[in-house]
């Protein structure tokens, strides 16, 4: 079965649909659920996926032609005015909702409003007011800062459009270790954050290679010997496999290929065993067999 991945533009959520047709990335397609006719944008080409399961509740109708896309774009007109109305209504009701975008279905009879908030909001009263202001059915959706950047788009520090708004289908968590393992942590760590205020998605692209190359290198401050001289590691060039060494009784740094550097381990520098290793050792320890002789009990001396 062929699966195509599509973004439902009304709710901005990923949908996996079964199809026998061929679709290209960025194609616009017409979707249908139990209430609306929706417009979706293809984010991955249709392909055979073993054991794949299509999402329920959606039906893929057809690929949109130029005239249909123009009709859909016309329903998007007035987005800024709709967002302004939603902001004003939320302010009147004293709701902590920051609206930033609005989308329409294919017919223009349903509008979605996207907002961010630091806490959960009871917007039932707002749902009674907005339909009267817009003369349409309303869908309110709270999103996080990363999804906000994905919906709005923009340009990163590299000068290219953000990854999340162009080709990334799903947003993975980016841990701080991904920056640390690539020696990217500096005093000016603001360069590591994207438009969403979170660590950039691109930090995950090469971290696997850095971690693989890092295995061949010593640790910072580790004692090493080079050509019979003893020193300590003060810096690493992971990609070029170079080690920066400060020798004893000198203030001069030298850079060497990792092949010339010999690690010097001392009892003080040996690391403590990890919890997983201790647990594994305990689990692997054999219990005394039931057939083995038990120690003889000594009689209790009488008083």
Query: DSSP secondary structure string, 158-172?
Result: TSSB-HHHHT-SS--
- Determine contact, residues 264/229, Cβ cutoff 8 Å: no
Mean pLDDT of 90-105: 94
- The residue-averaged pLDDT of 156-181 equals 89
Q: Which residues contact 137 (CB under 8 A, 6 or more apart)?
A: 109, 110, 111, 131
Provide the percentage of residues in the chain whose pLDDT is more than 90.
44
| Whole-angstrom distance, CA of residue 197 vs CA of residue 296 | 69
Give the least confident one: 142-146, 150-154, 177-181, 262-266.
262-266
Grade residue 24 by pLDDT with cuts at 50, 70 and 90: confident
Check: CB of residue 218 under 8 Å from CB of residue 225: no
Q: What does the pLDDT average to over 266-293?
A: 45
**Residue 34: band (very low, low, confident or very high) from pLDDT cuts 50, 70, 90:** confident
Residue 105: name the closest of 208, 1, 35 by CA: 35
Contact between 38 and 55 under an 8 Å Cβ cutoff? The reply is no
Q: What is the mean pLDDT of the segment spanning 171-181?
A: 90
* The pLDDT of residue 88: 94
- Of 266, 188, 260, nearest in space to 229 by CA: 260
Quick one: pLDDT band at residue 170, thresholds 50, 70, 90? confident
pLDDT category at 264 given cuts 50, 70, 90 is low
Selection from 38-47, 51-60, 117-126, 269-278 with the highest mean pLDDT:
117-126
Residue 188, pLDDT above cutoff 80: no
- Name the nearest CA neighbour of 261 among 211, 285, 227, 287: 227
Say whether pLDDT at 270 is over 80. no
* Percent of the chain whose pLDDT exceeds 70: 87
CATH number for the region 76-143 comes to: 3.30.300
Tens of pLDDT, residue by residue over 38-85, are 999 998 887 877 777 788 888 888 999 999 999 999 988 889 999 999
More reliable by pLDDT, 131 or 275: 131
96 vs 21: which has the higher pLDDT: 96
296/64: higher pLDDT: 64
Q: What is the mean pLDDT of residues 2-9?
A: 89
Q: Which of 99, 98, 103, 110 is nearest to 134 (CA)?
A: 110
Distance separating alpha carbons of residues 41 and 61, to the nearest angstrom: 13
pLDDT of res. 67: 93
Reported as type and span, the H/E element at residue 28 is strand 28-32
Domain spans of the chain? 2-74, 76-143, 158-214, 223-263
Rounded mean pLDDT, 192-200: 91
Q: Which residues of 169-183 are buried (b: 16+ CB within 10 A; e: fewer)?
A: eebeebeeebbebbe
């Amino acid at each position: 079965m062929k699966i195509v991945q599509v973004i439902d533009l009304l709710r901005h959520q990923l949908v996996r649909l079964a199809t026998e047709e061929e679709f290209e990335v960025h194609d616009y397609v017409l979707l249908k659920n139990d209430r609306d006719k929706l417009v979706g944008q293809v984010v991955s080409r249709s392909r055979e996926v073993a054991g794949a399961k299509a999402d329920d509740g959606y039906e893929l109708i057809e690929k949109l032609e130029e005239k249909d896309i123009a009709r859909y774009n016309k329903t998007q007109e007035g987005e800024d005015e709709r967002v302004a109305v939603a902001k004003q209504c939320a302010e009147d009701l004293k709701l902590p909702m920051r609206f930033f975008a609005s989308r329409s279905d294919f017919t223009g009879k349903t509008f979605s409003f996207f907002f961010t908030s630091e806490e959960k909001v009871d917007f039932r009263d707002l749902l009674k007011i907005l339909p009267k202001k817009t003369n349409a059915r309303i869908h309110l959706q709270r999103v996080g800062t990363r999804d906000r950047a994905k919906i709005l788009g923009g340009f990163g520090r590299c000068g290219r459009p953000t990854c999340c708004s162009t080709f990334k289908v799903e947003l993975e968590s980016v841990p701080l270790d991904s920056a640390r393992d690539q020696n990217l942590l500096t005093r000016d760590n603001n360069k590591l954050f994207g438009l969403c205020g979170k660590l950039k998605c691109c930090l995950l692209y090469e971290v696997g290679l850095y971690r693989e190359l890092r295995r061949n290198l010593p640790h910072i401050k580790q004692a090493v010997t080079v050509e019979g001289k003893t020193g300590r590691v003060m810096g690493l060039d992971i990609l070029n496999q170079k080690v920066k060494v400060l020798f004893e009784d000198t203030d001069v740094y030298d850079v060497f290929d990792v092949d010339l550097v010999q690690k010097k381990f001392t009892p003080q520098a040996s690391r403590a065993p990890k919890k997983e290793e201790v647990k594994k050792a305990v689990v692997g320890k054999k219990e005394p067999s039931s057939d083995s002789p038990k120690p003889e009990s000594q009689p209790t001396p009488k008083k």
